[in-house]
Amino acid sequence: MPLFFNPLHPLTIVATVVHNIGVLVHLDGADASNDEEAIAEDMAIVVNRGVIEQVAPSSEVVDEYGMEAVEEHIMFDAGGRAVVPGFIDTHTHLLWAGDRSQEVRWRHEGKSYVDIAQLGGGIASTVAATRASTPQSLFFRGVDRMKTALRSGTTHMEAKSGYGLSTPSELDLLNTMDRLNRESGLPSLDITWMGAHDAPPGATISEYTDALLSDQLPAVLDQGIARSMDVFCEPGWFSVEQTSDLLTAGKKGGLDLRLHVDEFTNGGGGDLAVEYRVQTADHAYHTPLETRMAMTEAGVNTGYLPGTPYAMGDAFPNMSEVVDNELHFTLATDFNPNCQTLSLPFMGSLMVQRAGVHPMEALKAVTCRAAATSPHPSGLEHGVIREGAVANLNVLASPHWESWSLQPSHSPVWSTMLEGEMIQHVR
């Protein structure tokens, strides 16, 4: 039995037995063509020290542990509800300050991106508000947001810096994320440096790229908190050449690579993702099909972020093309000042109820497939319910597992087990 687990969090000592599960979508063997193999009935789960110790038929487990809670065990009755793995959000801009709610009205009134910037809106306003915030106030914003995500079943989140855009403020953001990752009772974080999000006020992208390479990236590597880096590769922002220089330097420094590509136009970011075999190239709304296929062949994931077109009034990507061609994809929230959702079930609803994606495909995209691009800090497997994996799971409020993607306005999750600790959500 491994004496796990997330080294950043305290240990859960008492074993928990989750029994009376209706349907268990464990996703063990989820890549098999037959999804039935990823589902089981009449199962129970034994969890010890934050790790799944046993997944076995209920009768076997109940024989071993009895039905009553005894000193060493907590018996958790799932009441015939469906159980699925904890959700993994692979793309969030977690930490920023300010409030740009008025911009939606300005857009409705016909104001352009430039007009909004002149009125004091846009990313520059978020950067100014973030820089003016203390690390402590950003920490509390982070706690609040992570609790909100947990309420919708998220047990792990990728989190990017990128609203500081100067070396000291980017380092502060990464440091605050590291503090958040050490808090127990919150989703774990996978921390990404995204200094290359936009140019700071007063600098061109070209000048800022030079500063990133000569000053900010070395400082980030020295700090040693970020696991990955991300670049906003898009015509008008970081060009393919500038992105390439940044990826080369980051890779040399030992960072894993992620990208924002082709959000507004086909700018060649998808090809660059293939060249560098990045872990994930996200948005990709305008990436041509042959490039998406090359990405899959190269082992590059595409992260679809349906909250962004939802918030901006744009069309969703053609998901039937993605599913029919068996392209690797994940779904994530892209939480940011213009897309203020932290709910993966809402992303599931957008894909299942609005874009023709099968609920099982969508579920894999926020669990086992998401885990492949965002490892758990313990180094153990997650996004799947099997022996040896982190004990992150959701007990849904329904006996039907499909319900995870059918409640866009409120959480479909009844309870969440986070690293072995069962959290009963208020309903």
To Zn ion, the closest distance from the beta carbon of 338 in angstroms equals: 10
To Zn ion, the closest distance from the beta carbon of 367 in angstroms equals: 20
CB closer to Zn ion, 271 vs 334: 334
CB closer to Zn ion, 16 vs 308: 308
- Rounded (10°) angle between helices 240-252 and 269-276: 20
Nearest by Cα to 28 from 296, 381, 395, 280: 381
CB closer to Zn ion, 334 vs 381: 334
To Zn ion, the closest distance from the beta carbon of 196 in angstroms equals: 12
Q: Mind giving me the DSSP string for 13-37? A: -SEEEEE--SEEE--TTTTSS-GGG
Give the nearest residue (CB) to Zn ion: 334
CB closer to Zn ion, 26 vs 91: 91
Paired residues of 281 in beta bridges: 259, 302
Contact (CB, 8 A) for 120 and 53 = no
263 touching Zn ion, by CB under 5 A: no
To Zn ion, the closest distance from the beta carbon of 280 in angstroms equals: 11
Nearest by Cα to 238 from 275, 214, 201, 210: 210
Give the integer Cα–Cα distance in Å for 403 and 345.
Answer: 9
To Zn ion, the closest distance from the beta carbon of 144 in angstroms equals: 20
To Zn ion, the closest distance from the beta carbon of 216 in angstroms equals: 19
Stretch 311-340: interaction string toward Zn ion, x if CB under 5 A:
-----------------------x------
To Zn ion, the closest distance from the beta carbon of 8 in angstroms equals: 25
Contact (CB, 8 A) for 357 and 349 = no
DSSP 155: E
Q: Going by C-beta distance under 8 Å and a sequence separation of 6 or more, which residues neighbour residue 203? A: 211
CB closer to Zn ion, 209 vs 308: 308
Distances (CA, A) of 18 to 2, 15, 248, 414: 19, 10, 47, 14
CB closer to Zn ion, 16 vs 287: 287
Nearest by Cα to 247 from 291, 288, 196: 196
To Zn ion, the closest distance from the beta carbon of 93 in angstroms equals: 6
CB closer to Zn ion, 53 vs 256: 256
- Token representation of residue 141: 């914003």
CB closer to Zn ion, 307 vs 383: 307
CB closer to Zn ion, 172 vs 334: 334
Nearest by Cα to 411 from 30, 75, 18, 84: 84
- Rounded (10°) angle between helices 269-276 and 289-297: 10
CB closer to Zn ion, 6 vs 308: 308
Give the integer Cα–Cα distance in Å for 303 and 316.
Answer: 13
Stretch 191-210: interaction string toward Zn ion, x if CB under 5 A:
--------------------
To Zn ion, the closest distance from the beta carbon of 413 in angstroms equals: 24
To Zn ion, the closest distance from the beta carbon of 376 in angstroms equals: 21
**Size of interface with Zn ion, in residues (CB under 5 A):** 1
Helices (runs of H) and strands (runs of E) counted in the chain: 16, 18
Q: b/e string for 92-106 if b means 16 or more Cβ within 10 A? A: bbbbbbbebeebeee
Q: Mind giving me the DSSP string for 329-365? A: EEE---BBTTB----HHHHHHHHHHHS---HHHHHHH
State the residues that interact with Zn ion by CB under 5 A.
334
